[in-house]
Amino acid sequence: MTVPNGENSTESSPLAALAPLQAVLFDVDGTLCDSDPLHYYAFREMLLEIGYNCGVPVDEEWFIKTIAGKHNDDIASALFPDDQERGLKFCDEKEAMFRRLVKEQLKPIDGVYKVKKWIEDRGLKRAAVTNAPRLNAELIIEILGLKDFFDVVIIGSECERAKPSPDPYLKALELLKVSKEHTFIFEDSASGIKAGVAAGMPVVGLATRNPPHILMEAKPAFLIKDYEDSKLWAALEEIDTKSGDTTTTV
């Protein structure tokens, strides 16, 4: 997959202006781990059971357009526009199925532990910011061995508004006591990228599952395939260079 760049390669990375860096914020599903196939499987099988779409299995294009990155309240409305209560109950049951699948099949995004070490070595603050239910988010973070890595976990439904509103990311800044001028975000969905941009921070988009052209419409700083991508490490090196020899601790 060719991942388009949101910047001119001859210019300074948009992350360089953040030096000295204070914090890095992460989405969870699709950003820390490749969980979208598990969500898609759970939705497809459960919708098939109830005869949704006249019994025709939903496809990945439908999943990306209707489900990916969205909050369950919005998903419930999309699936059952005339019966929100039924939609929410369906989503709760789907999340329970997802958690069963996660325990057996969860895979981290390539390079995530390399980025984890880079952040830890510089004493940066970090938060997980997600539209996922808290049970899902905490289970994923625990399975990935990142429970002690994050200073805080922000849940969209626990904010006044979930993504694509900026509220969850603004709450993360508030709780971490850091500035948006010295913080950036990793996100994999158009909804999440829009939330980060609206909160006033540059967003590095991960083209793990969602089509790059859709992600680019949300205006990320640039896109990467995974955390091994050379574009990312060039940007991080530039942050280090601009920060000088001292390591930022906050």
Residues with a known catalytic role: 27, 29
Partners of residue 183 on adjacent β-strands: 23
What H or E segment, with its residue span, contains residue 203? Answer: strand 203-206
SS3 207: coil
Q: Residue 173: enclosing H or E segment and its boundaries? A: helix 167-176
Residues ≥6 apart with Cβ < 8 Å to 172: 23, 25, 127, 129, 152, 154
Interhelix angle for 190-198 vs 167-176, to 10°?
Answer: 60
Q: Is the Cβ–Cβ distance between 129 and 168 less than 8 Å?
A: yes
SS3 state of residue 107: coil
Nearest CA-CA partner of 93 in 156, 46, 141, 149: 46
Q: Got the DSSP string for 224-242?
A: ESSTT-HHHHHHHHHHHHH
How many other C-beta atoms are found inside a 10 Å radius of the C-beta of residue 137? 23
Using an 8 Å Cβ cutoff, are 141 and 49 in contact?
Answer: no
